[in-house]
Amino acid sequence: MAESVKARVRRASLLGNDDFSRLLELTSVSEIAVYLGRSFYASILKGFTLEEMHRSELEFLLRLSILAEGVSFSHYAGRNDKKLLDLWLEYFDIMLFKEHFRLETGEWSHHLSLDKMLDMVAVFHLTLIDKEKLISGSSLKDVIMAVRNENLRAHLFDAVSRRENMYMTRGAEFQKTVFETGMILNRYYFNNLYTAVAGLGGTEGRLLRMLIGTRVDLMNIYWIYRARRFFNMSPEEALTLIIKARYHADFNLLTQVAFAEPHAMAAALSGTPYERVFDLNSSNADPSNPALCEVAIERNIYRLLFEAAERVFLSGSLGFQNVAAYLILKEFEVRDIVVVTEAIRYGVDKSKIDMLLVRSLGKVN
């Protein structure tokens, strides 16, 4: 399959640990932009004055590179793989919706430029969201009406009921509503994506279920944790948020997690493939620093997904799973570049960088 060969070639173009070590030696965002301009990112950075680039502009272009990479595979994919790719890229519809939802509810004071991102990738077409309705809308109702799926619209309206004509404050109830709407969108997306691969046979189907199923399991576990820890939801409330699709984390395990106190969730996952999620000892996170502990938990989740994507390439098999694995690795590479960029911009201690990255660089001086 042509897309499998392309994915394997692209994987070889990903930055290595040496590249990240060199990035950490740089002293400014513009220096990082110049360095990336000599890498595979040259195509997305072409035409920009890298020596004068600001952090927000660089991060915008890096995010664009993930979408551009995904779209490029459509030229090589057959009909069935094209359907899977369209489903995979539907996440960018959701990103665009979330941006404008937050804008209308007052969380952000400006656009995050995802509409400009789509203009720069002209061959990409939104399938879940009506872009023109979304951008031209003047109310929260207009934002939700831009969603093409009627059932999804109904769930979103239910989550924001009695808030239609108000700009929410940044209080706890506002944060809870943003959290719930995000879960509704992600639940819709991952249910559809997992359903699409559930019936696929052979190695391709098994590896795609492993990739998407692992992410579904980890998201369910993390959502339950966040719902209990930050939004004081009951176990029963938290369980209403989870994705219906199941991989290793069946409903019994998720119930154990939901009924465990947040500090005891590591014990609830003991003996499962996900027991590392809340293992803060191996993360070198200071238990007295809650912010770093939360970062370590997210990092543990990302590393488990990173390892799952790497296993796909180690299998040596051909199929759409290679495209999916590559796009996951690309997503995490961009995340790590952004982390390094922000660490340099804000003078973060380099000895702590490794605990922030998806990839492990080992000891950083």
* Tens of pLDDT, residues 226-241: 999 988 889 999 998 8
- The per-residue pLDDT for 164 is 47
Burial class (CB in 10 A: 0-12, 13-18, 19+), 133: middle
Tokens of 222: 């993390």
137 CB-near residues (< 8 Å, 6+ apart): 100, 104, 143, 145, 146
- Residue 358 CA to residue 307 CA, distance in Å, equals 10
Decide if pLDDT at 259 tops 80. Answer: yes
Q: Which of 184, 275, 178 is nearest to 231 (CA)?
A: 178
DSSP state of 129: B
Contact 27, 18 (CB under 8 A): no
Multiple choice CATH, 1-75+319-357, 1.10.132.50, 3.10.300.10, 1.10.645.10, 1.20.1300.10: 1.10.132.50
- The per-residue pLDDT for 109 is 44
- Residue 81 CA to residue 86 CA, distance in Å, equals 9
- The per-residue pLDDT for 273 is 93
- Write down the pTM of the prediction: 0.89
* Tens of pLDDT, residues 127-137: 899 988 888 87
- The per-residue pLDDT for 347 is 82
- The per-residue pLDDT for 169 is 47
Top-confidence residue, 119 or 286: 119
Q: Which of 128, 121, 241 is nearest to 176 (CA)?
A: 241
- In the chain, which segments carry CATH 1.10.132.50? 1-75+319-357
Percent of the chain with pLDDT over 90: 53
Average pLDDT score over residue span 170-194: 83
Judged by average pLDDT, the poorest of 29-43, 57-71, 92-106 is 92-106
Beta bridge partners of 129: 147
Average pLDDT score over residue span 169-185: 75
Top-confidence residue, 23 or 138: 23
10 Å Cβ neighbour count for 141? 14
Which H or E run contains 268? Answer: helix 265-268
Decide if pLDDT at 42 tops 90. Answer: yes
Contact 48, 363 (CB under 8 A): no
* Tens of pLDDT, residues 43-82: 999 888 999 988 888 988 898 899 999 999 988 888 889 9
pLDDT band at 354 (very low <50, low <70, confident <90, very high): confident
357 CB-near residues (< 8 Å, 6+ apart): 20, 299, 336, 339, 340
DSSP string, 296-351: HHHHHHHHHHHHHHHHHHHH---SHHHHHHHHHHHHHHHHHHHHHHHHHHTT--GG
The residue assigned the tokens 């359903």 is 195
- The per-residue pLDDT for 288 is 66
